[in-house]
Chain A
Amino acid sequence: MAAELEGSKALGGLLSGLAQEAFHGHQGITEELLRSQLYPEVSLEEFRPFLAKMRGILKSIASADMDFNQLEAFLTAQTKKQGGITSDQAAVISKFWKNHKTKIRESLMNQSRWDSGLRGLSWRVDGKSQSRHSAQIHTPVAIMELEIGKSGQESEFLCLEFDEVKVSQLLKKLSEVEESISTLMQPA
């Protein structure tokens, strides 16, 4: 195997490129691009299996959402395998996962959401003052704007009017959700 592939210097860059392509949806990161930028001395034939190995390792770690104990055990096993990784490379991979775990996880969560997600939210309270003796009841007092959209698609905007009663009704529903969340989050 080419000596450059056993090194660890360019590996950080390689993992970034792999993460961009596999998780963050970046188009155009080809194996030739990665090779020429990071391992220019290595032939494509030698580079391909190396790239596949690193991609496989990164995907396994991300798919299992490994914590640091699991990660250490997994990488140690990889160093002991025939045709595995060096301990220097294991250190680079470990550092990469620790630094990028949150972002990668977020991308994986977004990838698995096929319905619209919430992109923006604001409330606007109307300046209308209300007299207790006013004949007007059910005057709109607040506007909620929601921005929703599916992954990779344009946003849809919803503009909803509320009077005081409807704000209370909504809040009652939201309190039900909050209670359900609290129950879920309680330790088993």
Chain B
Amino acid sequence: MEGCSEPRLDAKSELVDFQWKLGMAVSSDSCRSLKYPYVAVLLKVADHSGQVKNKCFEMTIPQFQILFIYSWKTQRETET
């Protein structure tokens, strides 16, 4: 997974709520033995007008670890 390139010009939003679910994909019609865990996330984000939208996505465990490490490093860098 690569980092994003240039900063987006879109208006920034605020994270209002973060809900998570740890799931396990067991089986599917194309693969009877999937057996992989994943983290599903529901973000509630508010734009500048105050409108709240839901955004959902899934991450593999290694992707989640990257999010965790980056966030932890950011907390270290922003501590006063």
Instruction: Report if A and B associate in a common complex.
Output: yes
| A residues lining the B interface (CB < 8 Å) | 62-65, 108-109, 111-113, 115-125, 130, 132, 140-148, 156-162, 164, 166-171, 173-178, 180-181, 184-185
Query: Given contacts A115-B56, A159-B13, are A109 and B22 in contact (CB under 8 A)?
Result: no
Q: Classify chain B's interface size.
A: 35 or more
6 A-B residue pairings within 8 Å (CB atoms): A112-B30, A115-B56, A120-B2, A157-B10, A158-B13, A158-B45
- How far apart are the CA atoms of A132 and B79 in the complex, in Å? 11
Whether A109 pairs with B36 at a CB distance below 8 angstroms is yes
Residue from A118, A160, A169 within 8 A of B59 (CB atoms)? A118
- How far apart are the CA atoms of A159 and B77 in the complex, in Å? 19
Query: Given contacts A148-B57, A177-B22, A181-B64, are A171 and B32 in contact (CB under 8 A)?
Result: no
Residue from B40, B60, B64 within 8 A of A115 (CB atoms)? B40
- How far apart are the CA atoms of A148 and B63 in the complex, in Å? 12
Whether B72 pairs with A123 at a CB distance below 8 angstroms is no
Whether B32 pairs with A159 at a CB distance below 8 angstroms is no
